[in-house]
Amino acid sequence: MLLSMEHLRKEYPNGKIAVDDFNLQVGRGEFIAFIGTSGSGKTTTMRMINRMLKQTSGTIKINDKDISKMDPVKLRRSIGYVIQNIGLMPHMTIQENIEMVPKLLGWSKEKRAEQAHKMIELAQLPDDMLQRYPGELSGGQQQRIGVVRALAADQEIILMDEPFGALDPITRESLQDLVKHLQEDLGKTFIFVTHDMDEALHLATKVVIMSQGKQVQVDTPENILRHPANDFVTNLIGEERLIRAQPNILSVSQIMLKNPVSITPDKTVDDAIELMHDRRVDTLLVTDDAGVLQGYVDLEDINRITDPHTAVGDFTNRQVFFVKADSLIGDTVDRILKQGVKNVPVVDKDKHLVGIVTRTALVDIVYDALRGAPEANEEPASPINADIHAAATHDEGGEIPQ
């Protein structure tokens, strides 16, 4: 583990407990977001990692070395640090700002300058900006510098304390993309404090939800959306965001009905009619003995058959639309709805029939998602839908080989 935090506790002299029994293992290249209300201890926890604060008890190890036994100045030089109010030195040029930690580490002038050019490129800012002063840059540009400054000495871990809180939404998004890129492409490890749930869910590989100094839930964004640990988490995420996220986190298997009515091809028309009557359905899915989906028969087909002893297999519709159990609802909902069928069979990866999705269940979810976000209520124009529909049919439906 790159960073390991065990039983961290921070108690202030006035008896206030800021952090209580905090445990976290962070691997290389992870993006950890600490999120919680103000006073939840998220910033306090982060600041203990570079010893800006000292824990009352518990240990923090970086690469298995206890940081309390390290020189705090050396430790801080090895950890990137980005704060909300940017924290560039206003009396230094951008270049001097970027070169700050390399200079403290005693890098040569040439190596520092080379690094400064590299960093400004990474920040996607023009090279001549190096000679400017922070005050001459916009807030977003300044924070870009703040971010790359934290990497200038090849720091592995970067701590960020609500770095984009003061920026407008568009600038914030472009900076989020920048740090995501740094994490994904350069393999940097981020510890990121935020109170913006969208930001946490968008960036993090692991979200740490904190309340009153305690960890409430530690999990991937998907799992947190799928299984919020308690009401606090639900509230923090927001009812609306949970509903909106449903199509993107629920898989087909979670909303399907299990035990669909099915029949094997060797049964007769009589058997089929009896089964339909018993289960009060007008369609039967046809599977072979191993449970592999073959097709379907419906009441109309049966009506046309005069000989009651005809085998089901002889008039099975092999043109059947199906979906895979592990696909996300968001990805398949369009295809299902546009097929215009009432029910869609669900199969596993070997085409075994495992369940059925009803149109009603789907519509409920889609409707909730739309109602949860009225501004996202922009259905694409119908010709595009037709395209998707055609593509979808080609993709997953089609003839089933016998």
Partner 1 sequence: MMHFLATYGTQLIAKTGQHLYISAAALALGVIVAVPLGILLTRMKHGANFVITLAGVLQTIPAMALLAMMIPIFGIGSTPAIVALFIYSLLPILRNTYLGMQGVSPTVRDAAKGMGMTWWQMMIQAEIPLAAPVIMAGIRLSATYVIAWATLASYIGAGGLGDFIFNGLNLYRSDLILGGSIPVILLALLVDYLLGKVEVAVTPRQLR
Tell me how crowded residue 362 is: count the other CB atoms within 10 A of its CB. 19
136 near partner 1, judged by CB under 8 A:
yes
Q: In this chain, which of 70, 83, 292, 370 binds partner 1, going by CB under 8 A?
A: 83
Q: In this chain, which of 12, 27, 28, 89 binds partner 1, going by CB under 8 A?
A: 89
Q: In this chain, which of 16, 63, 90, 319 binds partner 1, going by CB under 8 A?
A: 90
52 near partner 1, judged by CB under 8 A:
yes
Stretch that binds partner 1, among 75-83, 121-129, 162-170, 232-240 (CB under 8 A): 75-83
87 near partner 1, judged by CB under 8 A:
yes
Nearest CB to partner 1, comparing residues 123 and 320: 123
144 near partner 1, judged by CB under 8 A:
no
| Residue 316 zone, left/alpha/beta (φ > 0; ψ -120 to 50; rest) | beta
104 near partner 1, judged by CB under 8 A:
yes
Q: Shortest approach of partner 1 to residue 211 CB, angstroms? A: 25
Q: How far is CA 326 from CA 36, 245, 357, in A?
A: 32, 17, 13
13: which 2 tokens? 């002299």
Question: What part of residues 307-346 is at the interface with partner 1 (CB under 8 A)?
Answer: none
Q: In this chain, which of 94, 101, 145, 208 binds partner 1, going by CB under 8 A?
A: 101
85 near partner 1, judged by CB under 8 A:
yes
Q: In this chain, which of 8, 18, 33, 75 binds partner 1, going by CB under 8 A?
A: 75
Residue 9: strand pairing partners: 57
Kindly state the number of chain residues that form the binding site for partner 1, as judged by CB under 8 A.
26
259: which 2 tokens? 């035990």
Q: Shortest approach of partner 1 to residue 32 CB, angstroms? A: 18
* Distance, CA of 23 to CA of 214 (rounded, Å): 10
Per DSSP (E only), the strands in 95-244 are: 157-161, 189-194, 206-211, 214-219
Answer positive or negative: Cα dihedral of 191, 197, 198, 201.
positive
Pairing of strands 257-258, 262-263: unpaired
Question: What part of residues 148-207 is at the interface with partner 1 (CB under 8 A)?
Answer: 149, 159
Nearest CB to partner 1, comparing residues 161 and 199: 161
222-252 per-residue burial string, b: 16 or more CB within 10 A, e: under 16:
eebbbebeeebbeebbeeebbbbbbbebbbb
53 near partner 1, judged by CB under 8 A:
no
Q: In this chain, which of 16, 28, 65, 91 binds partner 1, going by CB under 8 A?
A: 91
Q: In this chain, which of 77, 206, 244, 351 binds partner 1, going by CB under 8 A?
A: 77
DSSP secondary structure, 32-53, as one string: EEEEESTTSSHHHHHHHHTTSS
Q: Are 77 and 153 in contact (CB under 8 A)?
A: yes
Q: Which residues in this chain contact partner 1 in the complex, by CB under 8 A?
A: 50, 52, 73-78, 81, 83, 85-91, 100-101, 104, 133-136, 149, 159
